[in-house]
Amino acid sequence: MNEESECKPITFYGKTKLDAEELIRKYNIPWIIFRAPVIYGPHQPEVLNRFFLDAMNKGKIYIFGHGDNLRSLCFVDNLTTGLVSLANRADINGKTYILSDNTPYTYNEIVKTASETIKQKVKVVQLPIFFGDMLWKMYRLIDNIFGLCFVELYAIKKMQLQEAFDITKAKKEIGYNPNVTLEAGIRNTIDWLKNNPKG
């Protein structure tokens, strides 16, 4: 997907972000929109900490499906590099950019890299997709009736989706260069978690 792809948010949270984009375009003020996939690294959300802690402490990671679906991630240092590039440009008013790591990864690649980084075998437990679909229906029901959002259930659904983003536009127009690799990003994140086990 790129900046011109149709947006199809699946949660109220996503819809409000899209609404904000549409609202800001209506006003005669300088604006730049940036979109990022899952952002990971030091001080990341608890739900992401759990992925790394399970790998380190249990040697086990649960995924829904076969782990071959593509996923774009953005290490926090890559994101800040992109934001600085946006802030220092006066010629990009009214444009939208995607900021992520250089390439998308499969879940299997992410787990393999995590395993190599912590230097221990990480077992992948593949859970059936229909179970993830069932949990997603539960999420939607709770959201519709009570207006509540359970991040864990949302994360399960996201784990099943293909979400690969193209950052060609940001590279060409603002010189975006996300040079922190997946291996370096995971190593940095794990080092931080070792010193901050509670996040």
Domain harbouring 110, CATH code:
3.40.50.720
Q: What's 58's DSSP letter?
A: I
Query: Which two three-digit tokens encode residue 32?
Result: 């730049």
pTM: 0.86
Residue 4: the pLDDT is: 96
Assess if residue 3 is contained within a domain. Answer: no
> Would 147 be classed as within a structural domain?
no
Q: Please check the confidence at residue 134 and state whether its pLDDT lies above 90.
A: no
Task: Please state the domain count of the chain.
Answer: 1
Predicted pLDDT at 103:
95
**Cα–Cα distance measured from residue 64 to residue 37, given in angstroms and rounded to the nearest whole number:** 19
Is the pLDDT confidence value at 38 over 80?
Answer: yes
User: Would you state the pLDDT for residue 199?
Assistant: 65
Residue 167 clears pLDDT 80, i.e. is over it: yes
Residue 180 domain-assigned (yes or no) = yes
Residue at 150 is within a domain: no
Q: Average pLDDT, stretch 148-164? A: 75
Q: Does residue 143 lie within any of the structural domains?
A: no
In three-state secondary structure terms, 189 is: helix
Quote the pLDDT of residue 67: 87
The whole-number average pLDDT for the span 138-157 is 75
DSSP conformation class of 163: B
Dist. CA 165–CA 103, nearest whole Å:
8
CA distances from 137 to 8, 68, 103, 165 (A): 17, 23, 31, 26
**Residue 138 covered by a domain:** no
Q: Which single residue is written with the structure tokens 């649960």?
A: 62
Give domain status of residue 84, yes or no: yes
129: CB partners within 8 A, 6+ apart? 64, 65, 160
Q: What is the pLDDT of residues 40-95, one digit of tens each?
A: 999 998 888 988 888 888 888 888 888 898 999 999 999 999 999 898 888 899 99
Alpha helices in the chain (DSSP H): 12-24, 46-53, 76-87, 107-118, 129-146, 151-160, 168-174, 182-195
For residue 88, give its domain range: 12-61+70-124+164-187
The predicted structure's pLDDT at residue 126: 84
Give me the percent of the chain exceeding a pLDDT of 70. 97
Cβ–Cβ under 8 Å, residues 190 and 197: no
CA–chain centroid gap for 74, Å, is 6
Whether 90 is covered by a domain: the verdict is yes
